[in-house]
């Protein structure tokens, strides 16, 4: 199956499961549940769940057994998008081809919808033990990995440094910190979630972590490049926002050509980290390429 078909098949799987997992939009209080569903159901590539599926496959696990847990990753990711778009953060008007959550539901409801998505994600992960599908020790490990990836040493830390660096001349070391934390940690956690629940050995998880770190970093560089070269229609959000906010990015610090070289270097690093895997890591390899070539 080519990678586009694979991504589409998994996206449909995730969308169906998200719809089942989330409270109905008329569930009391309806405003909150509508706001939670609004951005979540607006589309999105679902790349974090897909990475979890592909990692599970790579270690001989069954991707279908981790659909709920993969959806939890998407809830956390969507929460970060909703909060990232708020006036106090990036102040964006469009996301996933629609007005941002706070533009439609107001700031208070956008904050609360994000909070509820994050909390719901951890409820779903905790249910992984009680559903009897996964070993409790694996689920505890996953909860720890996802919490660490999201917290002050992960996404929140990256976001703080990103905001604090706006309008400042920063070096590539600090920029790399922002990329690896704001974006990379949740992507790495997604790969490790699939690997761990798929039954990876410690050695396999070490390689999967290296893969996740490389593609996570590359993913943010692509995001920065698309903010300059991408189309608003394909991206579903305004372009040029990094420059408007005087944000340091790879293209702005080292130039477009060097940024593209860096992407390629990270792609090769991702492939190298999978050298000990056989054809079962086929989709992980293809996703790495997709990540540096994507248009949306």
CA 62 to the chain's CA centroid: 21
| The binder of ligand GRG chosen from 190, 220, 252, 263 (CB under 6 A) | 220
| The binder of ligand GRG chosen from 69, 223, 227, 242 (CB under 6 A) | 223
Question: Which of 182, 41, 150 lies closest to 101 in space, CA to CA?
Answer: 41
Contact 179, 217 (CB under 8 A): yes
| The binder of ligand GRG chosen from 159, 196, 263, 273 (CB under 6 A) | 159
Residues 56-115 that bind ligand GRG (CB under 6 A): 77, 80-81, 83-84, 89, 96
Distance of alpha carbon 66 from alpha carbon 153, whole angstroms: 26
**For ligand GRG, which is the closer residue by CB, 80 or 249?**
80
Question: Applying CB under 6 A, does 245 fall inside the site for ligand GRG?
Answer: no
Distance of alpha carbon 41 from alpha carbon 125, whole angstroms: 20
| The binder of ligand GRG chosen from 36, 44, 134, 143 (CB under 6 A) | 44
With residues binned 3-state (H G I as helix, E B as strand, rest as coil), the percentages for the chain, rounded to 5, are 75, 0, 25
First to last CA, the chain: 21
- Torsional sign, CA 287, 293, 295, 296: positive
Residues 174-213 that bind ligand GRG (CB under 6 A): 182-183
Question: Which of 14, 166, 12 lies closest to 77 in space, CA to CA?
Answer: 14
* Number of residues in contact with ligand GRG under rule CB under 6 A: 19
**For ligand GRG, which is the closer residue by CB, 59 or 252?**
252
**For 186, how many CA atoms within 13 A lie in the half-sphere containing its CB?**
32
**For ligand GRG, which is the closer residue by CB, 38 or 207?**
38
Question: Which of 139, 151, 275 lies closest to 208 in space, CA to CA?
Answer: 275
Q: How far apart, in Å, are the Cα atoms of 110 and each of 121, 169, 268?
A: 17, 31, 39
Classify each residue of 87-113 as buried b or exposed e, where b means 16 or more C-beta atoms within 10 Å of its C-beta: eeebebebbbebbbbbbebeeebbbbb
**For ligand GRG, which is the closer residue by CB, 83 or 207?**
83
Residues 129-158 that bind ligand GRG (CB under 6 A): 150, 155-156
**For ligand GRG, which is the closer residue by CB, 77 or 285?**
77
Which among 24-32, 39-47, 97-105, 132-140 is the span making contact with ligand GRG, rule CB under 6 A? Answer: 39-47
CB of 235 to ligand GRG, least distance (A): 8
CB of 3 to ligand GRG, least distance (A): 15
Which residue number is nearest to ligand GRG in terms of Cβ? 44
Question: Applying CB under 6 A, does 249 fall inside the site for ligand GRG?
Answer: no
**For ligand GRG, which is the closer residue by CB, 138 or 217?**
217
CB of 262 to ligand GRG, least distance (A): 16
Binding site for ligand GRG (CB under 6 A): 44-45, 47, 77, 80-81, 83-84, 89, 96, 118, 150, 155-156, 159, 182-183, 220, 223
């Amino acid at each position: 199956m080519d990678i586009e078909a694979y991504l589409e098949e998994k996206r449909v799987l995730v969308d169906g499961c998200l719809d089942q997992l989330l409270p109905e939009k008329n569930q009391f209080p309806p405003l909150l549940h509508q706001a939670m569903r609004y951005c979540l159901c607006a589309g999105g590539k679902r790349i974090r769940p897909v990475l979890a599926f592909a990692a599970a496959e790579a270690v001989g696990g069954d991707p279908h057994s981790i659909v709920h847990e993969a959806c939890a990753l998407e809830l956390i990711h969507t929460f970060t998008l909703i909060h990232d778009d708020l006036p106090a953060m990036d102040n964006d008007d469009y996301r996933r081809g629609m007005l941002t959550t706070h533009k439609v539901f107001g700031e208070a409801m956008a904050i609360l919808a994000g909070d509820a998505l994050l909390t719901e994600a951890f409820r779903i992960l905790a249910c992984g033990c009680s559903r009897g599908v996964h070993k409790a020790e694996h689920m505890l490990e996953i909860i720890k990995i996802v919490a660490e990836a999201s917290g002050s040493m992960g996404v929140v830390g990256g976001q703080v440094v990103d905001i604090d660096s706006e309008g400042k001349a920063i070096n590539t070391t600090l920029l790399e910190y922002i990329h690896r934390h704001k974006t990379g940690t949740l992507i790495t956690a997604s790969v490790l979630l699939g690997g761990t629940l798929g039954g990876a050995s410690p050695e396999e998880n070490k390689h999967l972590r290296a893969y996740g770190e490389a593609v996570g970093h590359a993913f943010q560089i692509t995001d920065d490049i698309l903010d300059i070269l991408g189309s608003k229609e394909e991206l579903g959000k305004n372009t040029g926002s990094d420059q408007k906010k005087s944000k340091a990015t790879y293209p702005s610090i080292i130039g477009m050509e060097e940024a593209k070289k860096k992407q390629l270097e990270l792609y090769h690093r991702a492939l190298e980290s999978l050298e000990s895997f056989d054809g079962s890591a086929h989709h992980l390899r293809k996703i790495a390429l997709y990540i540096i070539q994507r248009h949306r």
